[in-house]
């Protein structure tokens, strides 16, 4: 497997709407290898997820996996989920404020409003149609990754730019209050 180079904010590929991936192309060995490389790249970067545009492939593929992630100790575990052509629909108007960061926006975090519950449909890596209901912080992770497929970064959703912070300052000044809020959200959802 190959660790792919992660594109950073400013790279035009991050601002494009990615193209749908036909089942025939999904079945190709090269596409399956790319998916393996995408997963490996996410793991190497200690990310909770990554989307194909973040490694300069503007196709509608993204992956999420959280398992006792040291970067996000407050995050509930999420099994490895590979999504092709995902469609995400909010199933509530309730939202929560999530301090987000991104592998494509290094060393920056900011508060983003996310829906607390969403319905997600997608093809898995074998082309099987799959549906899930996601809640709470997990729902936020999937919304973040699906945004990448439409050329959106979390900084586009930050309403109050005074919430922007470096990782070090987040750890020092904001983490404990955020972890307390997210722990309550995870318990509720």
Point out the catalytic residue in the list 20, 56, 97, 145: 145
Residue 35 near residue 42, CB atoms below 8 Å: no
CA distances from residue 179 to 51, 120, 133 in whole angstroms, order as listed: 25, 26, 23
DSSP letters for 88-140: EEES-S-EEEEEEEETTEEEEEEEEEEESEEEEEEE-TTS-EEEEEEEHHHHH
Q: Is 171 a catalytic residue?
A: no
Catalytic (active-site) positions? 145
């Amino acid at each position: 497997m190959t660790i792919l180079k992660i594109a950073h904010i400013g790279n035009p590929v991050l601002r494009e709407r990615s193209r749908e991936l036909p089942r025939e192309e999904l079945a190709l060995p090269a596409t399956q290898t790319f998916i393996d490389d995408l997963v490996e790249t996410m793991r190497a970067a200690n990310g909770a997820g990554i989307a194909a545009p973040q490694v300069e492939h503007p196709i509608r593929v993204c992956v999420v996996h959280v398992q006792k992630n040291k970067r996000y100790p407050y995050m509930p575990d999420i099994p490895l989920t590979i999504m092709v052509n995902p469609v995400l629909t909010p199933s509530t108007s309730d939202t929560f404020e999530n301090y987000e960061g991104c592998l494509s926006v290094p060393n920056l975090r900011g508060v983003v409003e996310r829906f607390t519950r969403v319905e997600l449909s997608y093809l898995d890596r074998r082309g099987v149609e799959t549906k899930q209901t996601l809640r709470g912080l997990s729902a936020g992770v999937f919304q973040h990754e699906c945004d990448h497929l439409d050329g959106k970064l979390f900084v586009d959703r930050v309403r109050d730019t005074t919430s922007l912070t470096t990782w070090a300052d987040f750890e020092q000044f904001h983490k404990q209050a955020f972890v307390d809020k997210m722990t309550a959200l995870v318990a509720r959802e």
